[in-house]
Amino acid sequence: MAVKFEEGGLETVGDGVHIYVGPSGSANNGIVITDEGTISIDSFITNYDGLTKAIDQVSDRDVSIAINTHDDADHYTMNHLFRRQGAMIIASDVCRERIATKMGMATWVENLKRRNPAIMRFG
């Protein structure tokens, strides 16, 4: 069954490989289940509830690896939550530098909080 764009949701695309699409297409995230643990590919704090529910549906393990494909907010803004679970965060050098630069700018962080009120739940 395909994910309905308006609603978003979880879809299995292969053995241990899933996608989570946020409501109205607000980001897409990969979830890969391996013998070593759960891998998250990109994450968007606005979709925290849906993405964590999707992960819980397909895995009984916390995320052990979080991969950031690039530095747009819908690709890395759950890193701090995965890190609290003990996950290793993986990104290219350029991506890591750009994320660090953005997160070091008070204006970027305030804009991110304004656009993503769910961030405020996590301190």
User: Tokens for 10?
Assistant: 């979880």
Q: In terms of C-beta distances under 8 Å and separation of at least 24 residues, what long-range contacts does 34-37 make, across chains too?
A: 36/64, 37/61, 37/62, 37/63, 37/64, 37/65
The predicted model scores a pTM of 0.84
Q: Tell me the chain's radius of gyration from C-alpha atoms.
A: 14
List, for residues 27-64, the tens digit of each pLDDT value. Answer: 889 999 999 999 999 998 888 889 999 999 999 999 99
- Give the residue carrying structure tokens 């204006």: 107
Please tell me the CATH superfamily of domain 9-42+60-121, with its number: Ribonuclease Z/Hydroxyacylglutathione hydrolase-like (3.60.15.10)
Domain ranges of the chain: 9-42+60-121
pLDDT averaged over every residue in the chain: 88
